[in-house]
Amino acid sequence: KNQVEQSPQSLIILEGKNCTLQCNYTVSPFSNLRWYKQDTGRGPVSLTIMTFSENTKSNGRYTATLDADTKQSSLHITASQLSDSASYICVVMYSGGGADGLTFGKGTHLIIQP
Amino acid sequence: EPEVTQTPSHQVTQMGQEVILRCVPISNHLYFYWYRQILGQKVEFLVSFYNNEISEKSEIFDDQFSVERPDGSNFTLKIRSTKLEDSAMYFCASSAAGSSYNEQFFGPGTRLTVL
C-alpha cells in the first residue's frame, strides 16, 4: 500500500533557528515528491517538486533533499521566521498516476516562537 | 498573482441537505480537482476534471457527489444528501496541464460542517 509518513508530528523552535522535517514513503513506482506549506485555514502552497534524478532543490530558505534509494526526503528551513509557522505536507506521486496518484502525508505542524 | 478562489469559506448544513461548493480556478488552467481534509487527518483526493468530464475519482467520490463546470469560470462540487462524516475542509485545485509533474494550485478551502 502506498504510504507517506512524516516526522515529527509537531515541532516548536525559536525564531532564527534552523529545522529539518522528515518524510519517508513507500510509493512505487515513484514519479515525483512535493513539499507543500499549509497555513492554518488555508489551502496547501507548493514549495518544491522533485523528480527521481533530483537530490536537492531550494526555494529561498527552504531546501528539500531526496534519496530515492532509501525513499526518504527532508525539508530544511534556514533562519526560521514567524511566518514559517504552518503545516508542511509531503506528497508523493506514483509513476503513471493521475491526480489520484498523489499520496499525502499527515504533515508536520511547525510553530516558530519569538 | 492569479489564484484559486472558493466560496463560501464556511458552510453549515443539516444532515440530509444538499450543498454546493463553488470554486473559480485560475483562468488559463484546464485541469480541476477537488480534495477534502477531515480535521486532523491528511488531504484526500476526490475527483479530477478535464474537458468537461471526470478524469479520475477516488472511492470516496460515490453517487452522493457530483461535479460540474456550469460556465467558463466556475467549478462546483455538489453533495446531494450530506452525512455527518462529510464534515471536512474541501479544497479545489487547478493546474495548467495534467502531467504528473505539473503543479496544482489550491484554493483556500470551504469548511463544511454537517449537523
- The torsion angles phi and psi of B3, rounded to 5 degrees, stand at -145, 160
Per-residue pLDDT tens, chain A, 114 aa: give them. 778 999 999 999 999 999 999 999 998 888 899 999 999 888 899 999 999 889 999 999 999 999 999 999 999 999 999 999 999 999 998 876 666 678 899 999 999 999
Closest partner residue to B33 (CB to CB) among A89, A99, A107 is A99
Which contacts (CB < 8 Å, 24+ apart) does range B70-76 have? B73/B24, B73/B25, B73/B27, B74/B22, B74/B23, B74/B24, B75/B22, B75/B23, B75/B24, B75/B25, B75/B32, B75/B49, B76/B20, B76/B21, B76/B22, B76/B23
Task: Give per-residue pLDDT as tens, B4-51.
Answer: 999 999 999 999 999 999 999 999 899 999 999 999 889 999 999 998
As a whole number of angstroms, the distance between CA B16 and CA B79 comes to 9
Task: Give per-residue pLDDT as tens, A76-88.
Answer: 999 999 999 999 9
| Binding-site residues on chain B for chain A (CB distance < 8 A) | 4, 31, 33, 41-45, 48, 55-58, 91, 93, 98, 100-101, 103-109, 111
Residue B96, C-alpha cell as written in the block: 495548467
